[in-house]
Structure 1
Amino acid sequence: MWERQMNGAHWKARFAAFWGAQAVSLFGSSLAQFALVWWLTEATQSATVLALSTLAALLPGILIGPFAGVLVDRWDRKKIIALSDTVGALVALALAILYLTQLIQPWLVVLAMFIRSLAGAFQQPAVQATTALIVPQEELSRVSGLNQMLNGLMQIAAPPLGALLMTLVPLEAIMAMDVATAAVAVGLVLVLDLPRLVAKHTESAASVLHDLGEGFRYIWGWPALLGILMVSALLNLLLTPAFSLLPIFVTNHMRGGAEDLAWLNMAFGVGVVLGGLLLSVWGGFRRRIYTGALGVAGMGVAILALGLAPAGMLPLAIGAMLATGCMNAFSNGPIMAMLQSLVAPEMQGRVFAVVTSVCMAMSPLGLLVGGPLADALGVSTLYLVGGAACLIMGVVIALHPVLRAVEDGRQAAAQVA
């Protein structure tokens, strides 16, 4: 049994401070992540080590994420957010000391990336669930647009700024910046009066495994939510290998180099920013599921255009990536806002963690299949398959009666099924 404690007054000021804290934290983490990956690249020149670092970043979310969601629903989310940032800062401080004393080793960096990702597995659902308690339901789509815009800005700014910093200062200085930004974020979160969920009779709470099972049963008993999860997982399965192999697309199909790859990545980031900005101003359709469907279908058209781009036609590919980023914001933002407004507050940690874990689990599976398929048929084939799937799924979301009824609530959607 849970009691919801929240104060709706002055939500904009409260959210602005909370959002600012997360933006500062994300900025420092993005710079540190880029620096660590680049250090591993220069120190080892090993694709295996880089693959292991990617795996270290994925595994906590896949394996620990659902259990983290249970604890997010049990514990004070404000403390979880602050503790997660603190763990990341301590790891960055340890790396700075190791580098300064010349004791740094690749395996220690990979371990550090694993621990930072583990902290993120707790922080992400806690932030999402807390946002849903701060922001009125009718404003969640605009707020999701702001979050998409922030992510796009980080994709644009972090790589070039990180690369510049690597030429100007040693690694320990970048780690110190991450510690400083985390300290600012933790300080802001701790002084904020954030709404919270307070458990009654927590001494008789069920086991973690039972609570985790409740999360899965909650999703399984809501056909529309289950359908959206399946669509998201399928799209991650198809699109992750396509965009992971973008460098091969640039070199083999576009006959370009590193600067051309940078243009494509920047175009995607700019598209996310523009899409997030437009969504934050417009707010989307009254039924957010239609905005999400438009984003998925529009992303499919843009990815198909990328796959159909003739060899050497870089401007067309850049335009397609720009449109893909914009439509990505239109698909992710409304769907997240919809979940934040519809999922019961006491279940949000578990539901968000399960959704994230299932989607993340598709990435390594997609890469296992997509790599050999791209070698055999060309990377453009992956874009054609993924784009067609996006377009079809967007139409299905808009027309399927169960998915369309998701905003009518859990019981209404179940009755349609």
Structure 2
Amino acid sequence: MTDSPDPRETAGSAVETVVDAEDRAAIDAAAEAEKPGWRRRTALFLTGQTVSLFGSMLVQYAVMWYLTLTTKDGTVMALSTVFGFLPQAIVSIFGGVWADRHNRKLLIMGADASIAVATLTLAILMMQGTNDLWLIYAALAVRSTGAGIQTPAVGALLPQIVPTNKLLRINGINQTIQAGMMLLAPAVAAALYANFAIEMIFFVDVVTAVAGIGLLALIPVATIRQAGVAVTGYFEDLREGVRYIAGHAFVRWLMGLYAFVMVLAAAPSFLTPLMVARSFGEEPWKLMTLELAFSVGMMAAGATVAVWGEKFDRITLIMASAVAFGVLSIGLGLSPNLWVFFFFMFLVGVTVPAFSTPSMTALQETVEPERQGRVFGFLGIVSAVAMPLGMVVFGPLANVWTVQTVLVISGVATFVVAILALALPGGKRAIAAARAHGAGSQKVGIPADTASGTADGP
């Protein structure tokens, strides 16, 4: 015989359900009032970006395999990395200013179009028998330049079309989509590369770019800079952006933490395949499983953040995931066997959206719309430079010590950085200011440290 449920408990649960439903309805109503028609616009935007990203990833894998198999030259691969990342880092400095000055939708469309033209030109030249490496490097540089323009514009455009209380969910969905592309794109690229000439993959990228541009063209997006506002020089806008970041307690703290964590994350990101090959065997399925474990972890965490992320404090998510990066890197280095290693790599994948999604959302919620382009421009520089910089340090160390030792060192360093970010007076002030102004679930309206003009519009 089983005990019957307490009627008071049942009634309480029913009341909570009704209250939750009313709260959700109120939140949805507020979102629709803030950004009418936001669901359609967001769906169009994410669909267009997904289609465009898919084509870009096909080209990324195809070029990497083409250069590897046709040259087998480490210098060629190093140069392709330089041309693929350095222009983005440089252009992001100005891309953020452009995103604050001009229509962000048109910037994204223009960058996509330029990349498509460069890719189409390369495809035509290669079909005619011109396979010079400098042409591939030039195409990579154009694509990287486009990314330097797109990245800050995309980060700053989302808050224009997505209500503030839905930003974390949409960023989580976007992170899940990107992780899904990391699973799908290599398989499709491999099938295409095995059955068609590389030029055919370039044509696929052109088609996806045109589709992405067409979908984005359907979304009305206003230019942030209002008429009548004095127009200053590009470098003055750039200096103002630097002053804003340096003078804003929370933004400065978050950007610094993001930079350090990304540099230290280079070890588990790039050295784990080397550890598999050295310690567990060179069979291709082992390397494939490693990538799958990471990507599946990212997908699972992105979806989780999208559904339940609003229940957690932004700062708590950021700091817990930063600490987790350190602990998991140590775990990777101390893994006793391959399957434990794969499990830790899955958890590393889980940690990435748990760190990057609330970080991105907190900046979108905190920074004034007219400055978001510049802030995301500097974030783009950090993203483009951090991991290559980390590999400059960790790569050579992996030839002196074991990969296991390097992973443990990077993990301890990440753990120390996270603890210092919490413990140092500047970190405590930034976190206290963030929470005092509602960083948990609402807009983080934190004033700048100084009144030296950083709170005024450009």
TM-score class, shorter = over 0.9
Say whether residues 1:282 and 2:317 are aligned partners. no
Q: Secondary structure at the match of 2:265?
A: helix
Equivalent position of 1:54 in the other structure? 81
Q: Is the 8 A contact 1:130 1:196 kept in 2?
A: no
Could you tell me which residue of structure 2 aligns to residue 304 of structure 1? 330
Q: How far 1:394 sits from its partner (Å)?
A: 4.0
Q: Deviations over 1:302-356 (max 9, x none)?
A: 222111112xx11111111110001111010011011011111100110011122
**Distance in 2 between residues matched to 1:224 and 1:197, nearest whole Å:** 23
Q: In the alignment, what sits opposite 1:73?
A: 100
Q: Which amino acid aligns with 2:328?
A: A
Pick the aligned partner of 2:281 from 255, 269, 275: 255
C-alpha root-mean-square deviation of aligned residues, in Å? 1.9
Q: CA deviation at 1:179?
A: 0.6
**What CA distance in whole angstroms lies between the structure 1 residues aligned with 2:406 and 2:161?**
40
Query: Kindly tell me: are residues 24 and 355 of structure 1, through their superposed partners in 2, closer, same or farther at Cα, counting changes over 3 Å?
Result: same
Q: Residue 290 of structure 1 contacts residue 398 of structure 1 at CA under 8 Å; is this kept in 2? A: no
- Which of residues 199, 217, 220 in structure 2 aligns to 1:193? 220
- Match for 2:153 among 108, 126, 141? 126
Preserved contact between residue 328 and residue 344 of structure 2 (Cα < 8 Å): yes
User: Residue 54 of structure 1: CA displacement?
Assistant: 0.7
- Determine if the alignment matches structure 1 residue 366 to structure 2 residue 390: yes
What letter is aligned with 2:449? A
Indicate yes or no: 2:140 matched with 1:113.
Answer: yes
In the alignment, the residues of structure 2 paired with residue 368 and residue 234 of structure 1 have an alpha-carbon distance, to the nearest angstrom, of 14
The one-character-per-residue Cα deviations of 1:126-182 (angstroms, maximum 9, x if unpaired) are 111110111111111111111211121121111122111101111111111101111
Pairing 1:334–2:334 present: no
In structure 1, the partner of 2:373 is 349
Percent identical: 33
* Aligned match of 2:263: 237
Residue 273 (str. 1) matches residue 314 (str. 2):
no
Amino acid at match of 1:72: A
Q: Which amino acid aligns with 2:409?
A: V
> d(CA) in 1 for partners of 2:281 and 2:105?
49
Q: C-alpha distance in 1, partners of 2:111/2:89?
A: 17
SS of the residue aligned with 2:36?
A: coil
**In structure 2, distance between residues paired with 1:146 and 1:393:** 29
| Counterpart position of 2:13 | none
Secondary structure in 1 matching 2:224: strand
Number of the residue aligned with 1:151? 178
Please say if residues 235 and 389 of structure 1, whose CA atoms lie closer than 8 Å, have aligned partners that are also in contact: no
Q: Which runs of 4+ in 1 moved over 6 A?
A: none
- Aligned-partner Cα distance in 2 for 1:273–1:233: 23
Amino acid at match of 1:210: E
Offset at residue 375 of structure 1 (A): 1.3
Matched, 1:26 2:53: yes
Query: How far has the Cα of 1:102 moved from its partner?
Result: 1.0
Cα drift, residue 7 of structure 1: 6.7
Total equivalences in the alignment: 407
**TM-score, normalised to structure 2's length?**
0.85
| Aligned counterpart, 1:3 | none
2:129 maps to a residue whose letter is Q
- Preserved contact between residue 402 and residue 413 of structure 1 (Cα < 8 Å): no
* Maintained 8 Å contact 2:96/2:375: yes
1:144-183 equivalent positions in 2, closer than 5 A: 144-183=171-210
Q: Which range is displaced more, 267-276 or 255-264?
A: 255-264
Q: Measure how far apart 1:279 and its partner are.
A: 0.5
TM-score normalised by structure 1 residue count: 0.93
CA distance in 2, matches of 1:147, 1:396: 30
Contact kept in structure 2, 1:238 and 1:385, CA below 8 Å: no
User: In 2, distance between residues paired with 1:16 and 1:359?
Assistant: 26
Distance 2:123 2:96 in 1: 31
Give the aligned partner of residue 385 of structure 1: 409
Work out whether 1:406 is the aligned partner of 2:441: no
Paired residues of 1:406 and 1:413 also in contact (CA < 8 A): no
Equivalent-residue separation in structure 2 for 1:138 and 1:382 (angstroms): 41
Deviation of the 1:104 alpha carbon: 2.1
Deviates more, 1:284-293 or 1:14-23: 284-293
Number of the residue aligned with 2:236: 210
Q: Hey, what's the Cα distance between the residues in 1 that align with 2:90 and 2:420? A: 30
Contact 1:239-1:383 at 8 Å conserved across structures: no
> Where does the alignment leave 5 or more consecutive residues of structure 2 unmatched?
1-32, 438-443, 451-458
Amino acid at match of 1:219: I
**Gap change, CA 1:284 and 1:328, over 3 Å in 2:** farther
Aligned to 2:339: 315
Report the alpha carbon displacement of residue 123 of structure 1 after superposing the two structures with TM. Answer: 0.7
1:222 has 2:284 as partner: no
More moved, 192-201 vs 371-380? 192-201
Q: Displacement of 1:286 after TM fit?
A: 4.4
CA distance in 1: counterparts of 2:418 and 2:177, whole angstroms: 25
Change (3 A) 1:356 1:35: same
Deviates more, 1:325-334 or 1:296-305: 296-305
For structure 1, list consecutive stretches of 5 or more residues without a partner in the other structure: 1-5
Structure-2 separation of matches of 1:70 and 1:356: 12
* Higher gyration radius (CA): 2
Equivalent residue of 2:363, what SS? Answer: helix
